[in-house]
Chains A and B, each alone.
Chain A
Amino acid sequence: MKNASLKRQIYPQPKSYGPSVRGMLMSCLIFLVWSCGSTVKKTPSTQPGTTPSTTPAASTTEPQIRACLIDNVTRSGLSFDGNYVLVLEEAQYRFDSSIGTLSVFRSGKNLVFRNDRRYLDIAPDQLIVFRPLTKNSEFTLDNVSYRGELSFVFDGDQVLAVNELGLERYLQGVVPFEIPTHQKGYTEAAFAQAVAARTYAMHRLANPVNAGVYDIRADTRDQVYRGVQRLTDLAQRAVNSTRGMILTERGQPSPTYYHSTCGGILESDAMLPGSAVPATAAVAHDLDKDEYNCRVSPFYRWVEFRDAETILVNLQREFDIDSLRVEGWMNDGFTMSIEVLDRKPSSRAKTVRFRVEEQSFLADGSRIRRSLADERGKLLPSDLFFINLSPENPDKFYIVGAGNGHGRGMCQWGAIGMSLAGRQYQSILGFYYPDLTLAQMY
Chain B
Amino acid sequence: MFIKKLSLRFILMALLGVVCFSHPAFAQMSPELKEFLSSKSFPELIRTFEKDKVTVRAIGKRAETIAARDYTIGKGYRCQAFAGSQRENAEKVAADLRALNLGQVYMMQTPEGLYKVQIGDFSSRVEAEYLMQKLRYANIPGVWIVESDIHEPKVGGGVTGTGEPAPAINNTANAIQQPEPEPVELRPRPEINIHYSIQVFATRSHEKALELQKKFETETNQPTRIVKQESIWKVMVGQFKSREEAEEYINTLAKRKFQDAWITQVVSS
* Chain A residues near B (Cβ < 8 Å): 263-265, 295, 300-305, 307-309, 312, 329-340, 343, 347, 384, 386-398, 400, 402-403
Contact, CB under 8 Å: A301 / B34: yes
**Top 10 nearest A-B pairs by Cβ distance?**
A333-B60, A392-B20, A386-B50, A301-B37, A337-B55, A308-B58, A402-B42, A305-B26, A347-B43, A339-B53
Which residues of B in the span 181-205 have a Cβ within 8 Å of any Cβ on A? none
Q: How far is the CA of A251 from the CA of B61 in the complex (A)?
A: 61
Contact, CB under 8 Å: B42 / A384: yes
B62 interfacial by beta-carbon distance below 8 Å: yes
Task: Tell me which of B11-19, B167-175, B207-215 binds A.
Answer: B11-19
Q: How far is the CA of A284 from the CA of B69 in the complex (A)?
A: 55
Q: How far is the CA of A388 from the CA of B16 in the complex (A)?
A: 10
CB closest chain-B residue, reference A353: B53
Q: How far is the CA of A263 from the CA of B17 in the complex (A)?
A: 24
Contacts of A400 in B (CB 8 A): 37, 45, 49
B56 interfacial by beta-carbon distance below 8 Å: yes
18 other contacts beyond A330-B61, A333-B57, A333-B62, with CB at 8 A cut-off?
Answer: A331-B60, A333-B58, A333-B59, A335-B57, A339-B53, A339-B54, A343-B46, A384-B42, A386-B50, A390-B16, A390-B20, A392-B21, A393-B26, A395-B56, A395-B57, A395-B58, A400-B37, A400-B49
Kindly provide the distance from the CB of B257 to the nearest chain A CB, expressed in whole angstroms. Answer: 74
CB closest chain-A residue, reference B48: A386
Contacts of A390 in B (CB 8 A): 16-17, 20
- Among B13, B52, B63, the residue within 8 A (CB) of A339 is B52
* Chain B residues near A (Cβ < 8 Å): 13, 16-17, 19-21, 26, 29, 33-34, 37-38, 41-43, 45-46, 49-63
Question: What are 23 A-B contacts with C-beta separation under 8 Å?
Answer: A300-B38, A301-B34, A301-B42, A303-B19, A303-B29, A308-B57, A309-B58, A329-B60, A330-B60, A331-B62, A334-B58, A336-B55, A339-B52, A339-B53, A343-B46, A386-B46, A387-B54, A389-B56, A391-B17, A393-B20, A395-B58, A396-B56, A397-B54
Contact, CB under 8 Å: A387 / B38: no
Kindly provide the distance from the CB of B219 to the nearest chain A CB, expressed in whole angstroms. Answer: 72
Q: How far is the CA of A336 from the CA of B38 in the complex (A)?
A: 30
Contacts of B60 in A (CB 8 A): 329-334
Q: How far is the CA of A302 from the CA of B42 in the complex (A)?
A: 11
Known: A335-B57, A339-B53, A392-B21. A301 touches B38 (CB 8 A): yes
Contacts of A312 in B (CB 8 A): 58
Q: How far is the CA of A332 from the CA of B59 in the complex (A)?
A: 7
Contacts of B38 in A (CB 8 A): 295, 300-301
Majority secondary structure, A binding face: strand
CB closest chain-A residue, reference B60: A333
Instruction: Specify which of B17, B33, B52, B58 lies most central, judged by the most chain A CB atoms within 10 Å of its CB.
Output: B58
Contact, CB under 8 Å: A338 / B53: yes
Kindly provide the distance from the CB of B7 to the nearest chain A CB, expressed in whole angstroms. Answer: 17
CB closest chain-B residue, reference A338: B54
Contacts of B58 in A (CB 8 A): 307-309, 312, 329-330, 333-336, 395
Contacts of B62 in A (CB 8 A): 331-333
Q: How far is the CA of A394 from the CA of B41 in the complex (A)?
A: 26
Q: How far is the CA of A301 from the CA of B61 in the complex (A)?
A: 33
Contacts of B50 in A (CB 8 A): 340, 386-388
CB closest chain-A residue, reference B59: A333
Contacts of B41 in A (CB 8 A): 264-265
CB closest chain-B residue, reference A399: B54
Contacts of A386 in B (CB 8 A): 45-46, 49-51
- Among A295, A337, A384, A391, the residue within 8 A (CB) of B13 is A391
Contact, CB under 8 Å: A388 / B42: no
Contacts of A403 in B (CB 8 A): 42
Q: How far is the CA of A397 from the CA of B57 in the complex (A)?
A: 10
Contact, CB under 8 Å: B56 / A388: no
Q: How far is the CA of A151 from the CA of B182 in the complex (A)?
A: 64
Q: How far is the CA of A305 from the CA of B26 in the complex (A)?
A: 7
CB closest chain-A residue, reference B30: A303
Q: How far is the CA of A400 from the CA of B30 in the complex (A)?
A: 13
Q: How far is the CA of A337 from the CA of B16 in the complex (A)?
A: 20
- Among A302, A333, A335, the residue within 8 A (CB) of B55 is A335
Contact, CB under 8 Å: B16 / A398: yes
Q: How far is the CA of A402 from the CA of B34 in the complex (A)?
A: 11
- Among A302, A384, A388, A395, the residue within 8 A (CB) of B49 is A388
CB closest chain-A residue, reference B162: A333
Instruction: Specify which of B20, B33, B38, B46 lies most central, judged by the most chain A CB atoms within 10 Å of its CB.
Output: B46
Contact, CB under 8 Å: B56 / A265: no
Contacts of A335 in B (CB 8 A): 55-58
